[in-house]
A and B are shown apart, each in its own frame.
Chain A
Amino acid sequence: MAGLAADRRTFLKGLGMLGAAALVPGCATSTTNSNSSGSSGSASGELSLQSNLSAEQAKAAMEKLVEAYGKTGGKVKLNTVAAEIFRTQLPTYLTSANPPDVYTWYAGSVANSYAKKDLLLDVSSVWDGMQNYPESMQKLSTGENGQKIFVPTNYYWWGMFYRKSNFAKWGVTPPKTWAEFLAVCKTIQSKGVPPIGIGLGDTPWVASAWFDYLNIRINGAPFHRQLLAGEGRFDDPKVKAVFTKWKEALPYFDPKGKSFPFQEATSALLGGKTGMFLIGTFFADSAPKDALDDIDFFQFPIIDPSVPVAEEAPTDGFFASKKAKDPEAVKKFLAWVATAEAQEIYVKNSSGTVIPANPDGKAADTPLVRKGKAMVQDAKELTQFFNRDSSDALQPTADAALTKFLDKPDQIDQILKDWQAAAEKVFKA
């Protein structure tokens, strides 16, 4: 009996070894599965266009644009990714071994930061055919080394939006100066409505519009740009002046605005629960179509008449990867999207509140868009927006500082000190 038991044990041991042996190739196959060299060479002569325009209308407009380009003989494969994914993955796309060729993105610092890392294609030759573009766009599209790296296609504007019928009901007219603005706020508040709407829950960056505008109205656009580029200090007395001015308007802000995103703030404005709302034209996408006819806007009030008037006009467009498989085809496509004709196709099919970057391109012919275009064209200086003029890394420092200011306006000195410290970390990184 004992012998048998021992035999059985050794037998089992042998089986165990066999089992282990069987396991090893099992593991091996699972690794070779992903290890076998299958270099994906997709050299089909087709450009790949990575787009972050995932909203329904914008996506459809991009499809139309690509289709129209197809009719001219070019081949572009559109790949739309959710905006949020695109934002986080863009560095990965650009640094990968086989990157997409062309990307939708924003002009200004956010594009230049990639140019600095030498990831973008030099598109100076495309700009040779874009002589009619204003100089501001040219400057905006030029990287640090003097090469053009960006092709703008459209822009939009920011303004103080309101409902015409409500302003008529309250007996107020759009103000032009800061004093008039505060008077309007007072009147609206006396009617029991919070005058200034805002939406900071989930979208704290909306507060940066206030900072941007107050800064460019008080200190001017050049100071604003330097500050955002890390050449100024956030604890500068000039920056503090921005917040002292802001404080005058603080009692008129909608106290509920901290809890909901700007989309809800749009609903509040349209529902007459707030008086006005400083926002970009993209908000119109979240408005019911029948309310849009009742919407108007006025320019952010002038504070110091001696400061040249600047406006926020965020510009969108395309850039291309340095590793593009067929740079000539990329340039051909970019030259085409720079034409008035191509930009009109996009504007017509998207929500219609963007303006073609090409001065010859026609924007949607509504009173609102005409007024917006005129405002931007009359401006002496253009800025983009906080994150576009600085970087996506600096934006969270602004969000933290500004939301804290809205909560505790008395601690402004400490807040600005903290902001400067946080910004220094970003600029050093």
Chain B
Amino acid sequence: MTNRFKTSGYHLAMGLVSFLWIAPILWVVVISFRSFDDVAANGLGSLPHSFTFSTYKSAWQDADEFRALINSLLVTIPAVLLSLGFAATAAYGLARYNIPFRRTVLLLMLMGNLLPPQILLIPISRFVELTGYYDTLYALIAVHVGFGLGFYTFVLHGFMRDLPREIQEAATIDGAGPGKIFGSVILPLTRPALAALGALSFTWIFNDLLWSITVIRSGEKMPVTPALLGLQGLFVSSWNVIAAGTVIAAVPTLVVFLKFQKHFVSGLAIGAVK
């Protein structure tokens, strides 16, 4: 009896917490279906008095969200692949071989992560300009790879270090070189961690606003986050269109997360329990 009471109490409480969590998102979705005149006349907080799909159309066409999404993916996918690739290679070397000063290297990478990125805004903006890559997507990819590398290496290092030594030794005896060991033994075993980091880094890079507005100035090269900001006018913003644009922009990260959800949870757990 008490048990049942406990269970229903738990579900009620958790249901409430989940609702609190999801309420702002629901609110955005509701606003995205309201017409501008409805929002202007009744305010953002009121119940909807209208229903329209035109907000999605205007976010997609007038605000050019399609091109912005393409830009975002053009940056995010290479940046994720490159940074994870570099990080995995670095972590492999640092974790599996007695490289001199490897602890220093690792600490240095961690230190870079503890630094607030805002400190580097001006140096990066100037450096990118100096090298002639200002206002290009390459610059943005390079920045994201550079910033992600330290953290990803640190996480992957922890993961690879705990892989049994015997596996590698067995592979060595079978005649596998370091490259072969990396590609055929270590990398497949690191897959859960890679998937988890992949999902995380995808979200981070995709949702980034700071670097894109620092490194890029042409409207047509802007990724989706600054493009959404661009829907805000100087004084007046069409919140319903912004809401629709936000809903659209959330789709790619949502897909990636759902796809990697299984790996994500298991990857985090493996990394945590030593």
User: Which positions in A face B, CB cutoff 8 Å?
Assistant: 8, 11-13, 15-20, 22-23, 26-27, 30, 33-40, 50, 52-56, 58, 79-85, 88-89, 92-93, 96-98, 100, 260, 262-264, 266-268, 270-271, 280, 282-283, 285-291
Contact = CB atoms under 8 A, between A and B. Distances in A.
Nearest to A33: B142
Interface of B: 36-37, 40-44, 58, 62, 82, 86, 89-90, 92-93, 96-99, 125, 128-136, 138-139, 142, 145-146, 169, 172-173, 177-179, 213-214, 217-220, 222, 226, 229-238, 241
B87 to A, nearest CB: 11
Nearest to B83: A30
14 contacts: A12-B169, A16-B93, A22-B178, A23-B89, A23-B90, A38-B131, A40-B136, A79-B218, A92-B125, A98-B129, A264-B44, A282-B236, A287-B40, A288-B37
A232 B44 CA distance: 41
Given A18-B178, A97-B130, 18 more contacts: A12-B169, A15-B177, A22-B89, A34-B128, A35-B131, A38-B131, A56-B241, A58-B234, A79-B219, A81-B230, A82-B230, A83-B232, A85-B226, A85-B229, A96-B129, A271-B41, A282-B235, A282-B236
A80 B41 contact: no
A81 B217 contact: yes
Contacts of A38: 131-133
Contacts of B99: 16-17, 19-20
Given A30-B145, A34-B133, A96-B134, A16 B98 contact: yes
Contacts of B234: 52-55, 58, 83, 282
Contact of A56 (B173, B177, B238): B238
Contacts of B133: 34, 38, 40
Contact of B93 (A23, A33, A81, A83): A23
Contacts of A286: 40, 235-236
A194 B92 CA distance: 68
Q: Which 5 A-B pairs give the minimum distances between C-beta atoms? A: A55-B233, A16-B97, A288-B37, A82-B230, A285-B236
B232 A54 contact: yes
A58 B172 contact: no
A93 B177 CA distance: 51
A20 B218 CA distance: 40
Contacts of A100: 217
Contact of B233 (A26, A98, A285): A285
Nearest to B130: A97
A204 B205 CA distance: 32
Contacts of A263: 40, 236-237
Contacts of B89: 22-23, 26
Nearest to A262: B235
A79 B227 CA distance: 12
Contacts of B179: 22
Contacts of B146: 30
A93 B217 contact: yes
A107 to B, nearest CB: 15
